[in-house]
């Protein structure tokens, strides 16, 4: 077998996604971690998948769930394959994609970084997720910075999210994004959202009020590979109480430190504690923000398709 050192991973597109891209129809990429056992608990994960894909289709776009199945990187899944991504999974960030293919993982659940990379490879300009990773608190000592931020800086994709998880160092996350040249836009909003709450108390560098402006921001980038981040606040009716959430977060982070939980394990640990402390209210909030993000992403994708 001959190996080509300049070869890069090319994902397999579903027939629907391939046709949509060929015909100039809007497409929105989705991650699969949120839908697996690593994301929302059952049956909320299935509800999230149904609501996100329905929201995208209702706006005239095609959903493209990303995943690694049977050692093949996929962009777009058939309905008959949805059950496979609702169960046990191995988390696949961008760095893990090559390993997941080489080792033929049964199901690698794609994170934000992996999904952005696969979307870019497939020629998809818009990706929707719940919230991105960022700079962790104490990163000056641990160096713990999410690969999501590097992916945003190196793939020309518009990422639509509800900001970053509130237990991260959001001020440093925004500083990092400025350093690597990623435009951060507030969707009809002046504040950077903090996932379960509409505002982190930090202003976004730029407010944007239309999908056309978002697309134009990507198209006028100064670097070939830089993406755009769009922060969409959770709908007001689904927002959690900020003061209560702050108390829960500090308690959960203290428990993390005592238990020695670090790295990728922090996110599921803290989210689990939030779900317990809010008596499950965080799960409906998560569903609402994920579906809302998908809806906004579809609107942007339709504008992108129309402007080609």
Indicate which residues carry an active-site annotation. Answer: 31, 165
Structure tokens at 10: 């090319």
What is 178-216 written as a DSSP string? HHTT--EEEET-SB--BTTBS--S-B-SEEE--HHHHHH
Separation of alpha carbons 90 and 88, rounded Å: 7
Return the DSSP state at 41: P
Separation of alpha carbons 288 and 213, rounded Å: 25
DSSP β-bridge partners for residue 62: 27
**Closest by CA position to 165, among listed 228, 234, 115:** 234
Phi then psi for 184, rounded to 5 degrees? -110, 120
CA distances to 162, 189, 267 from 280, in Å: 19, 27, 17
Separation of alpha carbons 112 and 146, rounded Å: 10
CA distances to 61, 65, 78, 247 from 16, in Å: 11, 12, 8, 45
Question: Which residues are CB-neighbours of 277 under 8 A, at least 6 positions away?
Answer: 244, 248, 251, 252
């Amino acid at each position: 077998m001959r190996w080509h050192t300049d070869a890069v991973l090319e994902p397999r597109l579903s027939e629907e996604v391939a046709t949509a891209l060929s015909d100039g129809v809007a497409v929105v990429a989705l991650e699969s971690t949120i839908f697996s056992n690593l994301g929302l608990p059952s049956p909320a994960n299935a509800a999230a998948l149904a609501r996100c894909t329905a929201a995208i289709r209702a706006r005239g776009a095609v959903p493209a769930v990303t995943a690694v199945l049977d050692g093949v990187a996929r962009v777009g899944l058939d309905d008959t394959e949805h059950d496979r991504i609702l169960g046990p999974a191995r988390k696949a960030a961008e760095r893990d994609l090559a390993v997941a293919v080489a080792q033929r993982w049964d199901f690698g659940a794609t994170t934000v970084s992996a999904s952005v990379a696969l979307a870019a490879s497939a020629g998809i300009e818009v990706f929707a997720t719940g919230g991105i990773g960022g700079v962790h608190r104490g990163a000056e000592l641990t160096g713990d910075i999410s690969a999501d931020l590097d992916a945003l800086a190196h793939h020309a994709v518009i990422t639509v999210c509800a900001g970053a998880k509130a237990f991260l160092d959001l001020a440093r996350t925004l500083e990092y994004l400025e350093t690597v040249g990623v435009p951060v836009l507030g969707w009809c909003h002046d504040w950077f959202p903090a996932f379960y709450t509409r505002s982190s108390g930090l202003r976004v560098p730029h407010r944007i009020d239309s999908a056309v402006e978002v697309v134009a921001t990507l198209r006028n980038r100064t670097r070939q590979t830089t993406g755009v981040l769009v922060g969409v606040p959770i709908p007001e009716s689904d927002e959690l109480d900020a003061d209560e959430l702050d108390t829960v977060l500090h308690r959960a982070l203290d428990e993390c430190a005592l238990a020695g939980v670090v790295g990728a394990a922090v996110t599921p640990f803290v989210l689990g504690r939030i779900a317990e402390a809010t008596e499950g209210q965080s799960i409906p909030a998560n569903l609402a923000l994920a579906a809302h993000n998908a809806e906004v992403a579809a609107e942007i994708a339709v504008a992108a398709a129309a402007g080609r």
